Amino acid sequence: MLAGWNQCSPLVTSSCADHLSVLDLLIGMLSITRRSPFCCRSHLFTVLHVALEVAVYAEYTWEVFPYCWELEFHLLLLLLPYLLLAGNIGCFVLCSRADPGIITKSNHASLMKIYAYDGALFQKGVRCPTCDMEKPARSKHCRFCNVCVHRFDHHCVWVNNCIGAFNARYFFFYLFTLTVTAATIAIITAAFLIQVVLLTNMLHGSYIDDQGQEQAVEIRFLIQHLFLTFPRIVFMLGFVILLTLLLGAYCCFNLYLALTNQTSNEWHKSRRSGCSHHPTLQPCDRQVVYKNIYSKGAWMNLKEIFKPPTVLEKEKKT
Ligand SMILES: [Zn+2]
Ligand SMILES: [Zn+2]
């Protein structure tokens, strides 16, 4: 069933560019090309992901936690990042190990009945040359995993798996717990540093500058002083704040996609073709105008993420 799971696709071309998530765009920041050795499934980013998490938690455990404990922070608040970590690891394992909706010879016929072809992004009769079968609507061949995936969203290098119909809910929870974890650590760490500033009455102090003049403490001096006193803590705080902002934005984007019943792949494709969801407002110069036919209202769309439709349900309705 999983034949070719770990092999490179022979059809890797620039035209088969998969949609990259914001997280995946970090690859670009690291100046890593999308060609070999990153054309196959690889544990590289999973290891990087784990290493970053270990580094943040090591710093939190060995410095932030004991300092906060001394300052009499509530124990439950200090333990919250560990509880969130447990939840995040659970979602991560589910997301990376679950079948995203790999299309095989045995489930192909039933998956063909789930979604209708919209005639714009998904045309009837298009075959996947690698898997040698007709592509069901909303599916896509993943060049990393070398399989076609039902309701393909994107390939996430951080969980080293495709995100499709059957693991989208785990990915959603994974993203959410990761964002909340980063935000919680950022809040606790910031609260600790603010407490230090208040207890030492630093804001009302003064310092002697290079010219020997006495100066009142301002924000720039305060940040420099905190960085020199707690370098690792301030560095970690900067990192988790950045992470919270990036993940928060990506979480919101995913929520928007879920509420409008679009996958990242469809959103990307519809934008790339220059078409609008409101063809009357923004006519497209191409012959085919994209209209999202899969949306059934915000609540039902959200439900679909957590309970993907099956053929049985589909047949019951008709
Ligand atoms: Zn395929
Ligand atoms: Zn994949």
- Is 247 a domain residue? yes
Domain-located, residue 186: yes
Evaluate the omega torsion of the peptide bond into residue 37 and state whether it is cis, within 30 degrees of 0.
yes
- pLDDT score, position 290: 67
The environment of the single-atom ion ligand 2, i.e. residues with CB closer than 5 A, is 142, 144-145, 155, 162
**Active-site residue (options: 95, 148, 156, 251):** 156
Residue 26 lies in a domain: yes
How far, in Å, from the CA of 138 to the mean position of ligand 2? 15
- 313: in domain: no
Q: What is the pLDDT of residue 315?
A: 62
* 3 located within any domain: no
Distance 171 CA to ligand 2 centre (A): 13
Provide the pLDDT for residue 314.
60
Tokens representing 306 are 């957590």
Ligand nearest the Cα atom of residue 135: 1
Give average pLDDT by consecutive 10-residue segment, the chain, 318 residues. 37 40 48 50 89 96 96 96 96 96 95 92 93 95 95 95 96 96 97 93 77 80 90 96 97 96 93 56 52 92 92 62
Q: Kindly state whether residue 237 falls inside one of the protein's structural domains.
A: yes
Q: Which ligand is nearest to the CA of 265?
A: 2
Please give the pLDDT value at position 212. Answer: 79
Please tell me the predicted confidence (pLDDT) of residue 288: 54
Q: What is the pTM for the complete model shown?
A: 0.80
Distance 58 CA to ligand 2 centre (A): 31
Catalytic residue at 156?
yes
Task: Give the pLDDT score at 50.
Answer: 93
CA of 99 to the centre of ligand 1 (A): 15
- Range(s) of the domain holding residue 57: 18-307
> Nearest ligand to the C-alpha of residue 127?
1
For position 40, what pLDDT does the model report? 74
Number of domains in the chain: 1
Q: What is the pLDDT of residue 217?
A: 78
Instruction: Tell me how far the alpha carbon of residue 254 lies from the centroid of ligand 1, in angstroms.
Output: 25
Q: What is the pLDDT of residue 215?
A: 78
Question: Is 138 a domain residue?
Answer: yes
Residue with token string 């095989």: 104
Domain contains 12 = no
